[in-house]
Structure 1
Amino acid sequence: MANPPFKLNGQDLTTLCKKTIPDQNHELLLSKLQALNPDYPIRLARTGSEWYRLGGIVDKDGHRVADDLIEWTERTYIECGRDLQTLIDHARDEKLIATRQTGNTLHFVALTGNKAEQFVQIDIDKTHETSDRFLVNEHSLPEDLEEFIDPLYPECIDAFNIGAARYSYRRKTDVDIFMSEINKYHLEEHPVQRFMDDWNRSSASPKAIFSEDWIIRPFRNTGRFGEQIINVEISYTQQKHVPQFDDISGKKGVSLSNLLTRFDRQVGYPFAWFFYMVKGELIPVQTGLAVYKDISGDYSYLPERDIAILKDWISTPYRV
């Protein structure tokens, strides 16, 4: 009997995040996500690098003045008659403090099938807010609104926490559906789709789960005519401690084959070196060229399915 469709919409995720108190390993959040879809295994695939962004405003006692520094600044500037000096004086008199949001993006995945693209990715931010600086530096006053919002020379203060850490829902991506939409807007096969297709026809596919090593990062870029284009790239989950590939200079035949086999074994599945090479992670492009030279000559250490992929890559190289 087939599993019921994966169901978890943005509203449900937003509510779940608001009602969940962050813990160190995000186990409570994960258990709640799993409980909503018990038929699909869900796991934390990657914790992104720490980032920060502008926060809000508090007074000298830590009481909230505004959640959004930019919105408050633009609105209060208008209320001050568009007079920057009046805005500066107000911020100085009240000893207002700017805060910063520090966080990590958590990437959860739920498997919906056996193919590379058959998973749902749920991105959730874990953030905490801390005091950052006085809104106005007495010794270096801002010359315009942009510098008021993000000064070149801030007067930093000893940080204190503003409230508790919290989760906030960012997005949910059904990767299978998303890639189908992406492909509609590209005349040629999108590199990420090709990466997934190569995985599906490689010797790695029966031995490993794609999303254990790789997830996606949707983003927007601007086209030639100012239009917004939805795009995507592959991200490495960095869950495995894989060493840098050894120098392949002068290696061929058995020595090169042993090097590839050792790398694949460390990663956990065959033909791993190819996907890391295409992504530009750890494996130099020269490796693919050296292997192709080997298999075009007297050596045969790749299965036919992987040889076909490598030949296609030699004919039309790509990166993701």
Structure 2
Amino acid sequence: MKETLAWTEYCKSLSPAIVETCAQTVVSAGPATLVKALGNAIPDWKFRHSFARGGWYRLGGIVDEAGNRLSDSLETWVEQELDARDGDLHHLADDYADRKLFATRLVGQTHYLVASEGDKHDGFLQLEIEDLQEVRAHRLFANDPATVEDLIDPRGGKDTPVPLGLPFYAFRRIQHVGSFLKRMLGQKPEPAPIHRMIEDWGKSSAGSTSAWYNHWVIATREHLDRYHQLVFRAQPIPTLAGDPPEFEAAEGTNGVKLQQALTHFDREAGYPMAWYFHMLTTKAVPHWVAQTAVEDALGGFAYLPQKDVDVVRGWLHRPYAV
């Protein structure tokens, strides 16, 4: 097993081949073509498409009515133009009142791909590739902006986005998830909720049935706090298509009816103990279920395997949410 630093450097070494693959792969061909192209570019790793998360955008640049580009960065352009006018937004608006300039956005989705590295539930590479398209968004200054936010990213605009080119793939990040989680522990030895979740997975029936990364990906983030210390964040994301299953039991339900509700939820999600892990994450299952399931087990109605009862009891003694 490579050490944490070695994994970081190794992942960096894969980046050029991934960047080239993204540039050469047509988005319209679909994720399956992307996976095949990655397999040819980095054959040591068998990536599979796990999940796509969309509905987001980033600020782009500035174009005129004819599509000519004035700047690749709207925020930088506004900052420079305001500096030249001593921060006077109204002065800037007056100077450009007669010009039809438009902000652009990069709209898209993030594709998560995973490849197994070993037997551990956090032993996998996670690759994030963005599917982006630049569109012409709102006309600058048309809304008589009172703040910079009104200028660069107004809310409730009626402008219809106009595509400025074809969608394209862009490499975002590749990392070894187990290595990232070790870095989190190095920063703060007390296990974070994500560490406890993966540990619970391994102890439960879920871990005996399937690897964690077959059902989850992880959104990671690093930033500096006010003391300039590096802070790590990790948020699990279920790879279910659509919303989690509906939990079909009201508070107070126990015994056979609760067993039926848990079994139905697990079958819909595709693995045992899904109800527990969605209780921790998506909140699709309420917390009272954990207490009642353990009470049923202690009362002699053992519809959960003992190892699952032990996991749930551990959570009741030290609750956490991810």
| Aligned counterparts of 2:17 and 2:171: Cα–Cα separation in 1 | 10
Conservation of the 8 A alpha-carbon contact between 2:103 and 2:152: no
Q: Return closer, same or farther for 1:68/1:254 CA change in 2, 3 Å cut-off.
A: same
Alignment partner, residue 221 of structure 2: 219
1:168 corresponds to which of 167, 170, 173? 170
Q: Does 1:102 align with 2:102?
A: no
Secondary structure of the structure 2 residue equivalent to 1:47: strand
- TM-score normalised according to structure 1 size: 0.87
8 Å Cα contact 1:202-1:271 kept in structure 2 = yes
> Displacement of 1:255 after TM fit?
2.8
1:29 counterpart SS class: helix
Conserved 8 A contact 1:95-1:134: yes
Say whether the 8 Å CA contact 1:248–1:287 is kept in structure 2. no
Change (3 A) 1:134 1:265: closer
Once the two structures are overlaid, the 10-residue window that deviates more, 229-238 or 298-307, is 298-307
Q: How far is the alpha carbon of 1:222 from its aligned partner?
A: 6.0
SS across alignment from 2:237:
strand
How high is the sequence identity, in percent, across the aligned residues? 30
User: Post-superposition shift, 1:211?
Assistant: 1.6
Whether 1:205 aligns to 2:210 is no
Q: Match of 1:252? A: 254
Letter in 1 for 2:180: F
Instruction: Give the corresponding residue for 2:124.
Output: 119
Which residues of 2 match residues 1-320 of structure 1 at below 5 A?
9-23=14-28, 25-79=30-84, 84=89, 87-137=92-142, 140-143=143-146, 145-151=148-154, 156-220=158-222, 223=225, 225=227, 227-239=229-241, 242-320=244-322
Q: Which amino acid aligns with 2:78?
A: T
Does the CA contact (< 8 Å) of 1:100 and 1:132 recur in 2? Answer: yes
Distance 1:258 1:88, change over 3 A: closer
CA contact (8 A) 1:110 1:121 kept: yes
Please tell me whether the aligned partners of residues 213 and 239 of structure 1 are also in contact (alpha carbons under 8 angstroms).
no
Q: Deviations over 1:218-240 (max 9, x none)?
A: 12466464644111111112237
SS at match of 1:291: helix
In structure 2, distance between residues paired with 1:267 and 1:159: 36
Shift of 1:10: 2.6
Report the secondary structure of 1:319's partner residue. Answer: coil
- Structure number having the greater helix percentage: 2
Secondary structure of the equivalent of 1:101?
Answer: strand
Please give the per-residue CA displacement for 1:57-103, whole angstroms capped at 9, x wherever unaligned.
11111122211111122233445676645533443333211112211
For the structure 1 residues 205 and 146, does the alpha-carbon distance in structure 2 shift closer, same or farther, using more than 3 Å as the test? closer
1:35 positional shift: 2.1
CA root-mean-square deviation: 2.6
Call closer, same or farther: CA 1:296–1:9 in 2, change over 3 Å: same
1:142-189: CA deviation from partner (whole Å, max 9, x where unpaired):
3454543334686x5443211221111111121011111111122321
Q: Distance in 2 between matches of 1:210 and 1:262?
A: 20
Gaps of 5+ in 2: 1-6
AA matched with 1:116? H
Asked if the contact 1:10–1:172 (Cα under 8 Å) also holds between the matched residues in 2, the reply is: yes
Mapped partners of 2:49, 2:113: distance in 1:
4
Within 1, Cα distance between the matches of 2:59 and 2:30? 26
Equivalent residue letter for 2:182: S
Q: Deviations over 1:268-318 (max 9, x none)?
A: 222222112122442111111101111112222222322221221111111
Relative distance call for 1:152 and 1:38 in structure 2 (3 A) is closer
Amino acid paired to 2:37: K
Length, aligned pairs only? 313
Letter in 2 for 1:35: N
Shift of 1:39: 4.4
